[in-house]
């Protein structure tokens, strides 16, 4: 899929054309800096969707899901991969650099301070309780964004079949995620392929 087709989903063409000029590198950096500084645990994807789709409208749900799908299939963290893709879409290579710096800088600084504190106080029961709470919050955030995306994108019975098939293969049968993505993805591409209208098929 080309970059132009990825950026043209669900947003008026005039707005898409103006987005790279309207958004400055400073705006992109600041936005991802805030997301990186306020996200909790493993719920970064949920914060990215809220900040980029729901709050600012820089992306729409279909585009965000495509970026998430690409990020799932590539090495690295989903959140940072999405930041690079989103920054590149908004302002090209410089936007991608601004996005990745913004989203990683708070975590790097905070984790350095947390590592020093954990080394000194990590064995205390209250610290263990706090970490368990954060883990629960991260799971809840991830589930929340899954439900939100599902409500807007899963419309047909076949959509749910592919989701259940993926969960069955990965969770219960412990199949390789990469092989499942390739296999189920190939079947889904074939299933959703463009089909000629039946009337056009009988037309001489």
Round to whole Å and give the CA distance between 54 and 129. 32
Instruction: Check residue 97 and give its pLDDT.
Output: 96
Within 8 A by CB and 6+ apart from 163, the residues are 150, 154
Residue 98: both structure tokens together: 């601004």
Residue 26 has pLDDT above 90, yes or no: yes
Residue 159 binned pLDDT confidence (cut-offs 50, 70, 90): confident
- pTM assigned to the model: 0.61
C-alpha dist (Å) from residue 73 to 105, 179, 180: 24, 10, 10
């Amino acid at each position: 899929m080309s970059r132009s087709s990825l950026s043209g989903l669900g947003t008026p063409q005039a707005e898409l054309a103006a987005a790279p000029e309207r958004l400055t590198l400073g705006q992109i950096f600041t936005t991802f800096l805030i997301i990186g500084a306020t996200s909790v645990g493993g719920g970064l994807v949920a914060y990215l969707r809220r900040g980029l789709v729901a709050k600012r409208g820089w992306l729409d749900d279909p585009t965000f899901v495509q970026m998430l799908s690409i990020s799932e299939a590539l090495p690295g963290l989903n959140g940072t991969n999405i930041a690079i893709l989103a920054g590149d879409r908004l302002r090209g290579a410089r936007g991608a650099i601004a996005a990745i710096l913004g989203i990683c800088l708070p975590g790097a600084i905070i984790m350095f301070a947390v590592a020093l504190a954990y080394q000194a106080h990590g064995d205390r029961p209250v610290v263990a309780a706090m970490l368990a709470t954060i883990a629960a919050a991260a799971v809840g955030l991830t589930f929340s964004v899954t439900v939100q995306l599902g409500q807007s994108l899963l419309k047909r019975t076949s959509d749910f079949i592919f989701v259940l098939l993926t969960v069955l293969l990965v969770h219960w049968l412990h199949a390789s995620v990469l092989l499942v993505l390739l296999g189920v993805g190939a079947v889904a591409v074939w299933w959703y392929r463009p089909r000629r209208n039946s009337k056009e098929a009988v037309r001489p």
